[in-house]
Amino acid sequence: MALPYLADPRVLFDPEPGSVYLDAATYGLPPRPTVEALQRALSRWQAGSADFVPEWDDIAEECRALFAELIGGTPEETALIPTVSAGIALVAASLPTGTEVVIADDEFTSVLLPFLVAAEERGAVIRRVAFADLASAIRPGTGWVAVSYVRSQDGRVADLAGIIAAAQAVGARVMVDATHAVPMMPIRPHLDGIDVLLAHGYKHMLCPRGVGFMHVRRSAVPTIAPYYANWRSAHRPYGGDLTLPDTAERFDLSLAWHAWVGALPSMRLLVDWMNEDAYARPLAQARALSDLLGQPATGSTVFSVPVNDADAVTLALAESGVRCAARAGKVRLSTHVWNSDEDIRRAAEVLSPFVR
């Protein structure tokens, strides 16, 4: 017999009564077990009774394995990082002089800026193209292509299959920011063609901020310098030579303990819901809401709506109990497992008068 939270994930969430929360792309809501785990950790910290290694540090190893399961990778290919930009900075800092990087001209700045720094400091050649043209822009001599699987500003989905095929044809490597894709979007069919995949956990993965993951394909590990080498990645606190694991674990950073305490129950639930096909519902709800608002569906759980003044409209929606965000001059909405079909109808009713 299925447990209630598997049949209906909404039983584990406590959004403000009367509200419609459609803003997972800004920050995800924590399920109840996550809040309880954080409260226990804070109480034990306050009392000075916690055994920090097993309670706060070692538990991240299960998070590593759970993320690998979500995307179809392995723990050995997974590094624990605090934020996506930290992982991208490692890739950018490791580029050989003159490496060409193809990237969308309006890419999220945490993906774009480390490569622009590499252009100034390491002589990398950054070629910025339209998002839709990424695959066709890859050419002989391209070293890397960097892309968000699902765009932050509007939820548009990259043609990963086309990008990977074009990259493989010329021997280029592929880096993907999957922050707005995991766990909703299919990663497994593409993973063998991705050299580096990163995701921050505080949005759609429902973790506290400070929890991030970096999948590094085995063949790509030697191409990235472990500039962040530290006691955790070396597994020793003092002295010795530069000896690090030959897996993605060499890129681990010291953990923000309590964030990872909260991450563990969320990650367990995400895998459970994946196995129950629970993400089909928020994907369908996003399609339904875009249809009701007369907007093209993006194929992800994130989409945006043109309005005359996104900031003012977002405030007006909040006053009506509908929580969303203003991004790139539009209202951005994002569904998740806590949303009901009634949420979708109500949001459409409130937002429709503002749609341009």
The correct CATH number of 7-30+279-354 out of 3.90.1150.10, 3.40.50.720, 3.40.50.300, 3.40.640.10 is 3.90.1150.10
Arithmetic mean of pLDDT, 199-224:
98
**Phi and psi torsions of 216, nearest 5°:** -125, 120
Cα–Cα dist 45/51, whole Å: 9
Ramachandran sector of residue 98 (left: φ over 0; alpha: ψ -120 to 50; beta: rest): left
Is the pLDDT reported for residue 152 higher than 50?
Answer: yes
pLDDT > 90 in the chain, percent: 97
Contact 38, 262 (CB under 8 A): yes
Helices in the chain by DSSP H: which ranges?
4-7, 32-47, 52, 60-71, 84-93, 109-122, 134-137, 160-170, 231-234, 257-275, 280-292, 310-319, 341-351
pLDDT tens digits, one per residue of 279-304? 999 999 999 999 999 999 999 999 99
Arithmetic mean of pLDDT, 186-214:
98
Arithmetic mean of pLDDT, 153-157:
97
Same fold flag, 7-30+279-354 and 52-271: no
Contact 330, 307 (CB under 8 A): yes
Arithmetic mean of pLDDT, 153-160:
98
Using CB atoms within 10 Å of the CB of residue 196, give its burial: 0 to 12 exposed, 13 to 18 middle, 19+ buried: buried
Residues facing 80 on adjacent strands: 213
Amino acid at 302: V
Residue ranges covered by each domain of the chain:
7-30+279-354, 52-271
Band of pLDDT at residue 42, cut at 50, 70 and 90: very high
What pLDDT sits at residue 5? 77
Is the pLDDT reported for residue 1 higher than 60?
Answer: no
- Of the candidates 279, 269, 338, the one whose C-alpha atom is nearest the C-alpha of residue 62 is 269
pLDDT tens digits, one per residue of 225-283? 999 999 999 999 999 999 999 999 999 999 999 999 999 999 999 999 999 999 999 99
Question: CATH 3.40.640.10: does it fit domain 52-271?
Answer: yes
What pLDDT sits at residue 2? 54
Beta-carbon neighbour count of residue 14 at 10 Å? 13
**Phi and psi torsions of 130, nearest 5°:** -65, 145
Half-sphere exposure for 8 (CA within 13 Å, toward CB)? 6
Is the pLDDT reported for residue 29 higher than 90?
Answer: yes
Which runs of E-coded beta strand occur in 206-247? Answer: 212-216
Contacting residues for 119 by C-beta, under 8 A, at least 6 apart: 125, 126
Looking at every residue in the chain, the average pLDDT score rounds to: 96
pLDDT tens digits, one per residue of 49-99? 999 999 999 999 999 999 999 999 999 999 999 999 999 999 999 999 999
Is the pLDDT reported for residue 103 higher than 90?
Answer: yes
